[in-house]
Structure 1
Amino acid sequence: MSRSTINVNNYDQQDEETGEGYAMLPNANSSQPSDSFRRDGYAPLSGAAAQSNSKWGNKRKAAIFVGLSFVFGFLIHIAYTFATDFRGKSTSTVSDPAKAILENENLSSDPMSFVSGHSKSKSKQELKELVDSGNGYFVRDYSVWLGWNNVRYIIETTLLHAQILNRTAVLPGYVYARACEFDQATCGAFAEQVNRGKATGMTEWDELPEAEQQGWKIPLAAMIDLDHLSQTYKNFITLDEYFEIEDLEPGLMGESALSGCISSLTRTKRAMDSGSSSTTTKTATIKSRTGERQSDERSLADNTSQWDPKEIVRVDRVGEPPQADAKAVPSGLTAHDIEEVFGDETVRDWPYLRVALQARGFKMPDDPAGVLAALGYRLLYTWDQIGGMDFLKSPVNPVTQVAKESTLRGLYEDGHEQKANIFHIEGEIHLYRRPGSVRFTSPDARENFKKIILQDMKPLPRLYQVATVVDERMREMNAGRAWTAAHIRRGDFESHGWAMEANFDDHLNRVITHLNTGVDIINKQPKYLHKIPGSDRVPGLPQKGDHFYIGTDERNTTNLEHIRRQGGVLLSDILTPTDRDEIGPMGLYTDVLALLDQLIMAHGAYFYGHALSSVAGGVVNFRTAEGYDEKCALIDSF
Structure 2
Amino acid sequence: MSPGRSIDHEELSLEELRDLTARTNGFYARDYSLYLGWNNVRYIIETSLFQAKLLNRTLIIPSFVYARACEYDNAICADYTPMIDRTEATGIEFPEDQRAGFRMPISLMVNVTLLREAHPVILVSDYLRLHGLSSTLEKTDGSWDRDAYHSGAMVFEQDKSRAPSLYVIENAYYDPKGTNRVDVLPEDMKARGSWSPVGFNVDTGRIGAWGKEVPSSEIHDALWNALPEGQSVLDFDRVWSIIECLDEVGDIEDEAELEQLLRDYGWEILYTFQGALGMDLAKTVVEPVRQVAPRSTLRGFADEYADLDEDVLLLAGETHLERKPGSMRFTSTEASGNFQGMVLHQVHAIDKVHTLADKLHERMLRLTGRRLWMGSHMRRGDFIKEDWVIEHDPAQHVARVKEHLETGRDFLASRQEVRSYDIAGIKPDETQFTHQPPNPDDPFYVATDERDPDALKAIAAGGAVFLNDLLTIEDRQAFGWPLIVTDVRALVEQALLARSAYFYAHSMSSVAGGIVNMRAARGADPRTTLLD
Q: TM-score range by the shorter chain?
A: 0.7 to 0.9
Match of 1:342 in 2: 227
1:619 paired to 2:515: yes
1:439 paired to 2:306: no
- The alpha carbon displacement at 1:266 in A equals 5.9
Specify the code of the residue in structure 2 equivalent to 1:541: P
Match of 2:527 in 1: 631
Question: 2:114 aligned to 203, 222, 228, which one?
Answer: 228
- The alpha carbon displacement at 1:162 in A equals 0.5
- The alpha carbon displacement at 1:455 in A equals 0.4
Question: 2:123 aligned to 234, 238, 241, which one?
Answer: 238
Could you tell me how far apart the structure 2 residues matched to 1:160 and 1:532 are? 27
Check whether the contact 2:379–2:389 (CA below 8 A) recurs between aligned residues. yes
Alignment of 1:96-495 (within 5 A): 117-120=7-10, 122-205=12-95, 207-208=96-97, 213-230=99-116, 232-256=117-141, 260-261=142-143, 263-265=144-146, 268-271=149-152, 277-289=160-172, 306-322=173-189, 334-342=219-227, 344=229, 345-361=231-247, 362=249, 363-364=251-252, 365-367=254-256, 368-495=258-385
Specify the code of the residue in structure 2 equivalent to 1:607: F
Structure of larger gyration radius: 1
Could you tell me how far apart the structure 2 residues matched to 1:534 and 1:343 are? 43
Match of 2:199 in 1: none
Give the aligned CA root-mean-square deviation in angstroms: 2.4
Could you tell me how far apart the structure 1 residues matched to 2:432 and 2:309 are? 53
Specify the code of the residue in structure 2 equivalent to 1:180: C
Q: Give SS of 2:282's match.
A: coil
Q: Deviations over 1:184-209 (max 9, x none)?
A: 3331222112101111111122x33x
Could you tell me how far apart the structure 1 residues matched to 2:159 and 2:480 are? 41
Could you tell me how far apart the structure 1 residues matched to 2:22 and 2:107 are? 24
How many residues were matched structurally?
489
- The alpha carbon displacement at 1:413 in A equals 1.2
Q: Give SS of 2:434's match.
A: coil
- Unaligned runs of 5+ residues in structure 1 are 1-115, 290-305, 326-331
Could you tell me how far apart the structure 2 residues matched to 1:601 and 1:382 are? 26
Q: Give SS of 1:264's match.
A: coil
Cα distance change of structure 1 residues 252 and 223 upon mapping to structure 2, 3 Å threshold: closer
Q: Give SS of 1:241's match.
A: helix
Could you tell me how far apart the structure 1 residues matched to 2:85 and 2:275 are? 35
Could you tell me how far apart the structure 1 residues matched to 2:135 and 2:115 are? 24
Q: Give SS of 1:255's match.
A: coil
Check whether the contact 2:285–2:325 (CA below 8 A) recurs between aligned residues. yes
Q: Deviations over 1:498-557 (max 9, x none)?
A: 111122222111111011011112212142499998968521111211110000011111
Check whether the contact 2:428–2:524 (CA below 8 A) recurs between aligned residues. no
Match of 1:594 in 2: 490
Q: Give SS of 1:284's match.
A: strand
Q: Deviations over 1:474-502 (max 9, x none)?
A: 11111111011001111111111111112
- The alpha carbon displacement at 1:117 in A equals 4.4
Could you tell me how far apart the structure 1 residues matched to 2:394 and 2:222 are? 50
Report the TM-score when normalising by structure 2: 0.87
- The alpha carbon displacement at 1:324 in A equals 6.2
Q: Percent identity?
A: 35
Check whether the contact 2:223–2:242 (CA below 8 A) recurs between aligned residues. no
Could you tell me how far apart the structure 2 residues matched to 1:591 and 1:155 are? 17
Could you tell me how far apart the structure 2 residues matched to 1:466 and 1:532 are? 23
- The alpha carbon displacement at 1:372 in A equals 1.8
Check whether the contact 2:280–2:324 (CA below 8 A) recurs between aligned residues. yes
Could you tell me how far apart the structure 2 residues matched to 1:544 and 1:526 are? 20
Q: Deviations over 1:155-178 (max 9, x none)?
A: 101101101110000011111011
